[in-house]
Amino acid sequence: MSLQLMSLVTPVAPWTVVVDEDGVVVASGFASIDDTVARLTPDKQATVRRVGGSGPVSAAMYDYLAGDAAALEAVEVRQPGGPFQQRVWQVMRQIPAGQTWSYGQLAAKAGRASAARAVGTACARNLVAPFVPCHRVVRSDGSLGGYAYGLDVKRWLLDLER
């Protein structure tokens, strides 16, 4: 199995995406190629090769950057995680572009209203941002909270989607 890597320049940071042979996104983020690949397991790291930006995933990326906030919704993703994390990521993809939900709202919609901290953990472990849009999750007071790629990137993504 080989993984393909693509990287695009954005106004705030490079956007690096790793796709498997089936076209499923297995890693993505606003970080360098090295930092993105380092988030993969060692066996997967050894199979990554760089490719040009072609195919449906890169088309969705370009469309998203051009203002089509819904462009990433149809892209298939896969990442390791327990059942509740998988549920949180699934529900997170239902947050409409341009909107935000609090950690508590997301926990309730995922079926465990008291699990806001576990939702925060799922956000932190999300390997496929922004395809799974953890940038749309904020604190209960509406403040941005954290983001693995920095608050400038989170703010930029939210502004892009509005």
Q: What are the DSSP calls for the chain, one per residue? A: --EEEEEEE-SSSEEEEEE-TTS-EEEEESS-HHHHHHTS-HHHHTTEEE--S-SHHHHHHHHHHTT-TTTTTTS-B-----HHHHHHHHHHTTSPTT--EEHHHHHHHTT-TT-HHHHHHHHHH-SBTTTS-GGGEE-TTS-----TT-HHHHHHHHHHH-
List 57, 134, 138, 160, catalytic entry: 134
Active site residue 123: no
Active site residues: 134
